[in-house]
Structure 1
Amino acid sequence: MFSLTMNGRRLKMADESDTPEVSELKQKINKWLDEHKNVLELNIRETSPNHGLVGYYSVIGQTQNFTQCGTAPDSLFIHSADNMYFNIGFAEKISRTDSVDTLRKQFQFVALDKLPMPDLQAPSNWIITPQTPISSFSDGVTIESFENGRIRYHIDTNFFAVYGNIPQEHPIMDAPSPPGTYLQVRRNFQGKITIDMPMFAT
């Protein structure tokens, strides 16, 4: 048996033979990586101020669904969508009137918990996402611009695997995930990710 930490929760998994569906999905992932020459390129852009990066601490007492951006200064900003979950953190609270130099000086880390692999033909009940070697990092991150509360930053990083699972409706803590509901394809590949979106609601 082995375990894997995903979104802060440790998942236990039994060492068992792959089901036919898992084997087929692993083949598709390897084929995708071959076709993309071991590079995941993403250009993530959001125009709506209410669907950009959310000031976590300014809204956590009001909502857990991250559907609306906070307007107050904050130090941790999260973007959450059906196939994406990532964040960027700063040492001090950031406001829309700060300069790009201030953001660069205060920048601390990013985390890429869930990202899409475009055009990967996976069953709709599976969540597939690349995995970074560590949960958060600062190397390879360049804040390119920040104007009127909108940030653009680029991430050059490495992934060591692709993880997939079928979310369980009522998972049992510390119990192994059922066979055929998870997978991991170990493979080193690059990530080149540009994120361009609002950080504050209008």
Structure 2
Amino acid sequence: MWNQLDLKQIFTAGMILFAVIDIIGNIPIIIDLRKKVGHIQSEKASIVAGILMIVFLFLGKEILNLIGIDVNSFAVAGAFILFFLALEMILGISLYKDDEPETASIVPLAFPLIAGAGTMTTLVSIQAEYETINIIVAILLNLIVVYAVLKASAKIERILGSQGISVIRKVFGVILLAIAVKLFATNIQSLFV
């Protein structure tokens, strides 16, 4: 298993997850939560999100097989979700809006903010291209970043300002759009074989 470690796969999977989780773009939401409830449980949110992602990484395929969907079909569907997430990031629009969370507990932070539907879809989708061990390392690296951002969100907001956060969000939106196109092109062919 350790001989399957590949830095390129870890980096690429990590960047895909970083773009989908969009922790930098979610700083305004995190700051609003902190203002409403006073304290955010960064450690708890990061750990629960990590557990959710790793469990879904291992059980996602079985769940799909149970309902009769192959990984390539799910990857194509995931490409569409990533495409729309990227459009939201680039255009600054909201195609889907959840209800405003009332507390900064595990539910709004760990799920769906960090480990949401886009992240879960991405995890199953990238399994078609990357080794599981590399995806796990990418998840863990992202969780370190998520934890650091949750802890330092107020400082980051002061340093970047709203314009800086907006620029970063748009850049990752373009990257995510390119990833969605690649994921679609790679997996659509196998559906017609």
TM range (shorter): under 0.3
- Of Structure 1 and Structure 2, the greater strand share is in 1
Using structure 2 for the length normalisation, give the TM-score.
0.27
Q: Which has the higher contact order (CA 8 A, sep 6+)?
A: 2
User: Between Structure 1 and Structure 2, which shows a larger proportion of helix residues?
Assistant: 2
Q: Please tell me whether Structure 1 or Structure 2 has the larger radius of gyration of its CA atoms.
A: 1
| TM-score normalised over the length of structure 1 | 0.26
